[in-house]
Amino acid sequence: MTRQNPPPGPSRPRRRVTPALGLFLLAPLVAEYLLGNIAIDQLAGLLVLAPMYGGGALLIREVTRRAGRGWPTMFLLALAYGLLEAGLLDQSLFNPSYLGYDFQTTAHVPQLGVSAYYALLFLIGHTVWSIAVPIALVESFTPAHRTTPWLGRFGLAVTALVFVAGSGFIFYDHQVTEDFLPERRQLLGTAGLILLLIVVAFLVRRSRQRPATGRPAPDPWLVGGVAFLAGSLFWRIPEDRNGVALGIALVLVLAVVVLRWARRPGWDARHRLALAAGAVLTYCWFSFTIPPMLGSTGRTDLIGNAVFAAAAVLLLLAAGRAVRTGRARRADRPAPAPDRS
């Protein structure tokens, strides 16, 4: 009896490279273009931003999955990335006239030399939208390899080099164009916090196995609606100290609620995608309310916002289809071990 060869399909390297490249490009698209910070006529800037944004997101995802960790670790590393970018690379956290904008006066904290309001927006924006959302979206397309590394050692080393080079370029460019450098205490304090977050990220306990009984996970549509509402409220908090307190409370409450939901039986890829979808749809409408920091305003900006929003919706639909297909395939196989991440 002769052994038949398996049907042709994508090679293993291709299965690795495709999602990695997708995340590399999606991170800056969500972080800056879907948000509306950069207009569509500056799309070429994607090549400049991708090494920092995409390289950072890919490194965080790969290091976390290689360590066998889950989303708590990824979120802490994403927060460290937010501090790195806003505090040490483009230094928008400390610059009083970054790109000509006043990011210091609102809810100013003189002891730290930062605006509490913009510090909250920058850090949560980078943590959730620049890093976590792109990772969740791309992982939705790879259900069979969601918690496994996509890159080998060589690919990981190349990604690290690209990230360092891209970050160095952003730092250099802002030194030339902004002619600003934070105080030494601000630089050292930020670097110390980044290192602390990285250490804590790998000290958090691994997710425990969920009980087989108990209240089931909520409907994914409810999860997505809550994420959309919370994200929309977050980007509309008052621009004062009360708004900062409200924003922090909103983030903490949502984090507790999601952690409790994620421990319930039945929590799966549909719910993770729903969270990401709620965040993505928040940016879709919010982009129409702010002028771009770079690029053309007016009609060009509105057309660009519509194009990016439409592309985001199509991406969500495709991700939803991939999740449904993955669930259907698993239904035909023996029951897998509980999903803990």
Model pLDDT, residue 13? 59
Q: How many other CB atoms are there within 10 angstroms of residue 268's CB atom?
A: 18
Closest residue by Cα to residue 105 from 239, 198, 213? 239
Residue 9: CA count within 13 A, CB half-sphere:
5
Tokens of 3: 């052994």
pLDDT, one tens digit for every residue, the chain (341 residues): 444 444 444 445 556 789 999 999 999 999 999 999 999 999 999 999 999 999 999 999 999 999 999 999 999 999 999 999 999 999 999 999 898 899 999 999 999 999 999 999 999 999 999 999 999 999 999 988 889 999 999 999 999 999 999 999 999 999 999 889 999 999 999 999 999 999 999 998 776 655 555 789 999 999 999 999 999 999 999 999 999 999 999 999 999 999 999 999 999 999 999 999 999 999 999 999 999 999 999 999 999 999 999 999 999 999 999 999 877 666 555 545 545 45
In this prediction the pTM is: 0.90
Maximum Cα–Cα distance for the chain, whole Å? 80
d(Cα 248, Cα 54) in Å, to the nearest integer? Answer: 27
